[in-house]
Amino acid sequence: MTTERNEIRPSTTTNPAGAVDQDQIKKLTIAAEPALVPPTETVREHALDNDDTWLQILTALKSKYKVDITYGDTGRILQERLGSKFAPRALAEDNDFRIFHIEQLLAESCDLLDRCRATRQEWFDLATRAFQVMLELGEFWRLDEVHIDEAKSGFYTLPYSKKSAELSAETAFADYQASALANLDRLQAVNIDSGEEAKQQGAIQLSGWVGAGPYTLEEWNKGAVQYTWNGTPKSKTDHSFDASVQQSWYASRNFAYTLYAQQRSAAALLSSSRERIVGLAKETEWHRQDVNFRMRRTEIARDTIKLKGKALIETDGPINYIERMGEIQAVFQRDFRGAIARLKKVSDGMNQILGYDKALPSSGADIYEWVAVDLWAREAQDFLARFSNLDQNYVLPISVKSQVPAAEWKAGLKTGQWAFVLPKETFPGQKHVRLRGLNCFVEAEAGLLMTVEAKLPDKADYYHFQKADPISVDQSVLPVSRVARAQTRVAIREPDTTGAMAWHNASPLGKWQVTVKPTLRTETDLDSLKDVVLDLHLAVRSG
């Protein structure tokens, strides 16, 4: 039995592949924490209601346009739509329109309403823009109040403060990591590089060898018992020594590799932390400067919105939409008033002359809605088109001499005046009899020129379909028609036509008055006059 042994050391290097080079570790110096300079400006509390320009804008909006954006009251400019509840002002010249001129007045009204439509659309476009500007001003006003509270709570400085804290935390982490790496370095120097590792291995081997031996000489002298392990017979002490060699070697390697791994991890964390410190330092400096940048942007936004507000309220301002809306509104109301003045006559004329019983819509005391009026005019156009397509036009000669008794004709030759009545029997089977013009002829000496003045019945009747009783219409406002070159029907010259416009749609049913006199001074009497013939140009409906 062997009583003497030497320690057995592993043949592998003490610094395995992948271990951290101590020279490299020493190079991982910690970047000094940059000096953090606080922002050069403090947060400015800026209340818009203390700004003179803003007060001027608010005052103008309230006084001129009755809009208070500070309370979100931005929709008042659209509360009264253009063309709603319009009360037109009656003018004396409206009396110049006649209920008989249905077609012309309706066409003019539709033209005016089309102009109103375009003007109204322009007004609404401007109103929409004005509303958007008002909304923007009001939103900015109210959000700026919130922004002031945000600024007090760190709106500008919070990013800087946050990054500054992150930089401090990262710097502290790097310091702790460097300290940990230094401790690992010292642990390697003490337990591995100094030879202490071999001593620890020898101690384990010694313990395994001695601990398995006998405690007394008597036991030693008895001789060792042989133990066979893996086919190898050895004494108990030899087997124990061999096992302690393996255990000491593996324990030493595990300790060394664990230490090297911790060193490498600490070095990597330290290197990453150093890089993050550089980035955080730059980011912190940026946020420090950004405090002022953001303040300047806020002031620019405030100045810009003030410029927009001034441009909104200034006379002839580039975005003074409300002022331009007023100008457009005046044009709209002028055209709408003119359309209504005409359509009132059209409505009466279509009812009395054509039997169209759908009146011009109005609410209350002469209050009109543009949409309803425009729709009525279009429907009236449709009716008139259908009605006119069924008209028949012809010329009816009326002999004055045959319409009056002989005595009255003879007496009239001295005064040149006759009166007669055209009854409805003059137009058998015809309804809605309306005039379209007048030609005058005289039966007299060839070449004799006569002036014929014809006056329509002051009260005339219209007969409609499905109505037994006539509609009486006042025609006293219609002028006298004159023909100063009345000749015989066989004259070469084309006869003059009169009353085409003035008498348009007038009724011939009623009492006529005709006056005849020589046109030239050399013609002093009517002795040669044998008759006066009126050619009535008519439009009728058969039925």
- Give the pLDDT confidence score for residue 366 in this predicted structure: 77
Query: Which residue, among 443, 446, 447, 451, has the nearest Cα to 409 in the 3D structure?
Result: 443
Q: How confident is the model at residue 255 (pLDDT cuts 50, 70, 90)?
A: confident
Specify the pTM: 0.69
State the alpha helices, DSSP H only, in 153-235. Answer: 158-188, 196-212, 217-221
Query: Which residue, among 17, 32, 15, 106, has the nearest Cα to 360 in the 3D structure?
Result: 106
Cβ 193 vs Cβ 14: under 8 Å = yes
Using alpha carbons only, what angle is made at residue 121 by residues 117 and 126, rounded to the nearest 5 degrees?
A: 150
Query: Which residue, among 320, 67, 36, has the nearest Cα to 164 in the 3D structure?
Result: 36
Q: Of all helices (H) and strands (E), which one includes residue 155?
A: none
Q: What percent of the chain has pLDDT over 70?
A: 84
Residue 198: how many CB atoms within 10 A of its CB?
16
Return the top range by mean pLDDT from 341-355, 363-377, 484-498: 341-355
Q: Is the pLDDT of residue 75 over 50?
A: yes
Q: Are strands 232-235 and 417-422 parallel, antiparallel or unpaired?
A: unpaired
Cβ 490 vs Cβ 465: under 8 Å = no
Q: How confident is the model at residue 208 (pLDDT cuts 50, 70, 90)?
A: low
Residue 427: how many CB atoms within 10 A of its CB?
17
pLDDT tens across 310-358, in order?
A: 888 888 889 888 889 889 989 999 999 999 999 999 999 999 999 999 9
Q: How far apart are CA 520 and CA 528, in angstroms?
A: 15
Q: How many helices (H) and strands (E) does the chain have?
A: 11, 12
Q: Which domains does the chain have, with CATH numbers?
A: 393-542 (2.60.120)
Query: Which residue, among 118, 141, 2, 5, has the nearest Cα to 70 in the 3D structure?
Result: 141
DSSP letters of 59-77? Answer: HHHHHHH--BGGGTB--GG
Specify the 3-state DSSP secondary structure of 377.
helix
443-453 b/e (C-beta count within 10 Å ≥ 16 → b): bbeeebbbbbb
User: For the CA atoms of the chain, what is the radius of gyration?
Assistant: 58
Q: How confident is the model at residue 87 (pLDDT cuts 50, 70, 90)?
A: confident
- Residue 504 to residues 394, 453, 511: CA-CA distances in angstroms? 14, 17, 18
Beta bridge partners of 483: 452
State mean pLDDT over 67-80. 65
Q: How far apart are CA 405 and CA 529, in angstroms?
A: 16
Average of per-residue pLDDT values in the chain:
83
pLDDT tens across 30-42, in order?
A: 344 444 455 554 4
- Give the pLDDT confidence score for residue 491 in this predicted structure: 84
pLDDT tens across 212-228, in order?
A: 666 666 666 666 677 77
Q: How far apart are CA 477 and CA 504, in angstroms?
A: 13
Cβ 480 vs Cβ 453: under 8 Å = yes
Q: Is the pLDDT of residue 512 over 90?
A: yes
Q: Of all helices (H) and strands (E), which one includes residue 524?
A: none
pLDDT tens across 257-314, in order?
A: 887 888 888 888 888 889 999 999 999 999 999 999 999 999 999 889 889 888 888 8
